[in-house]
Amino acid sequence: MGLRRAVTILGSTGSIGVNTLDVIERHSDKFRVTALTAHSRIDLLQQQCIRFRPDYAVVADEAQARALTQQLASGGCRTHVLAGPQALETVAALPEVDSVMAAIVGAAGLRPALAAAHAGKRVLLANKEALVMAGALFMDAVRASGALLLPIDSEHNAVFQSLPRDFGRGLEQVGVRRIVLTASGGPFRTLPLAALATVTPEQACKHPNWVMGRKISVDSATMMNKGLEVIEACWLFGARAEQVQVVVHPQSVIHSLVTYLDGSTLAQMSFPDMRTPIAYALGYPDRLEAGVRELDLVAIGALQFEAVDEERFPCVRLALSAFASGGTAPAILNAANEVAVEAFLAGRIGFTQIAALISDALAQQAPLPVSELEQVLQADQQARLRAHAWLRQHGVAANVAAVTN
């Protein structure tokens, strides 16, 4: 048996983290878990620690840490429990760690993902906000440290698989004309527009193809996730916004495509299961069995594609506008979206008000140039304050603690 790769999983109790542990368990001869982290699902984290025996676990605060330490000790588990945001950065940069799954949702995942990049790790990036908020800073850290950046989003992982390995020379240099990101269209793709204002959080979280967390499920329903993914793709692959196209593909079988200058289009296809991109990134450049069933093309029969309905999905336009503005604008966009989604999930605003809040935040806060991380974080906090003010102006009792990272 060769040396096993040591893995830190940031956000181990979310859907990406759980699926990562599933793949690792299938290949325990190749990987070992060094650190696991969670924010609120401490019972599940306890179970994961007992099962995988990591050296470290990270929780949000000292009270959680004391309780988890006692629970693990009673089960004979000697995992060392740490607490707080700085501990996330510590376990992301541990010298013994080879690979870091960056799967903390939202802006809270930026600092630890960046710590892994600075430390030169194999960064398995499931946190798209790291690139949306601080793309230039993040990519500079990757280049300076020699980190290997592997995308986990199914769309970007599909693009990565469909590009030549030397795409870093420039897309034009390797013959690429266009990147095509596919989108399912979410649960409201065919719902009458007039009905969108009254949809419920439960309806928004019921994705037709994927099993995901509540926040990303709402992002899929608004298609904000696709706007964020265009921004992410531009940073990951050195593309201009006009080189990235979004196409609605309801079956979620083709995860993305790359079109070349000679007329060829390469697509990555698989059953919609996040274990496929996770296994690809964990094993890269080798491929691993992931426990995912094969596609039955005869059963699928036909694949459908549609243009994006901009009236139905205004968040895509908002994201592209923020990216075009540059500087702190994408951070403002992301912060406002996080506040809006949390307010919607809490029943404080309607579905169509998500885009209205975000649009207001972008209009009210002028973007500034970015040269250091603190500028991004300051813009993020200012945008959250403005978003809460919007909620108050519209008669909404916002719970600030619930939506501020």
397 has a pLDDT exceeding 90: no
- Give me the residues paired with residue 269 across strands: 254
Going by pLDDT thresholds of 50, 70 and 90, the confidence category of residue 213 is confident
Same fold, 5-151 and 314-403: no
Q: May I ask the CATH class of domain 314-403? A: mainly alpha
Domain ranges for the chain, please list them: 5-151, 159-270+293-300, 314-403
Going by pLDDT thresholds of 50, 70 and 90, the confidence category of residue 155 is very high
Q: Nearest CA to 274 among 405, 156, 139?
A: 156
Query: Tell me: the pLDDT tens digits for 303-342?
Result: 999 999 999 999 999 999 999 999 999 999 999 999 999 9
237 has a pLDDT exceeding 60: yes
pTM above 0.95, yes or no: no
- Give me the residues paired with residue 338 across strands: none
% residues pLDDT > 70 (the chain): 97
Going by pLDDT thresholds of 50, 70 and 90, the confidence category of residue 395 is low
Residue 341 has what pLDDT?
97
% residues pLDDT > 90 (the chain): 93
Architecture field, domain 5-151: 3-Layer(aba) Sandwich (3.40)
Going by pLDDT thresholds of 50, 70 and 90, the confidence category of residue 281 is very high
Residue 209 has what pLDDT?
82
Terminal alpha carbon distance of the chain: 42
Going by pLDDT thresholds of 50, 70 and 90, the confidence category of residue 208 is confident
Q: Maximum CA pair distance of the chain?
A: 63
Residue 288 contacts residue 27 (beta carbons within 8 Å): yes
141 has a pLDDT exceeding 60: yes
Residue 207 has what pLDDT?
87
pLDDT, mean of residues 361-384: 97
Residue 403 has what pLDDT?
36
355 has a pLDDT exceeding 70: yes
CA atoms of 4 and 22, how far apart (whole Å): 16
Instruction: Please name the residues in contact with 358: beta carbons below 8 A apart, sequence gap of 6 or more.
Output: 224, 315, 318, 333, 336, 337, 340
Q: Which of 2-11, 58-67, 215-224, 393-402 has the lowest mean pLDDT?
A: 393-402
Q: Which residue has the higher pLDDT, 247 or 2?
A: 247
Question: In this structure, which amino acid lies at residue 166?
Answer: D
Query: Tell me: the pLDDT tens digits for 122-132?
Result: 999 999 889 99
CA atoms of 203 and 196, how far apart (whole Å): 11
Residue 21 has what pLDDT?
98
CA atoms of 102 and 11, how far apart (whole Å): 7
146 has a pLDDT exceeding 90: yes
287 has a pLDDT exceeding 70: yes
pLDDT, mean of residues 159-186: 97
pLDDT, mean of residues 20-34: 98
Going by pLDDT thresholds of 50, 70 and 90, the confidence category of residue 106 is confident
pLDDT, mean of residues 148-160: 97
Going by pLDDT thresholds of 50, 70 and 90, the confidence category of residue 396 is low
Structure tokens at 38: 């969670």
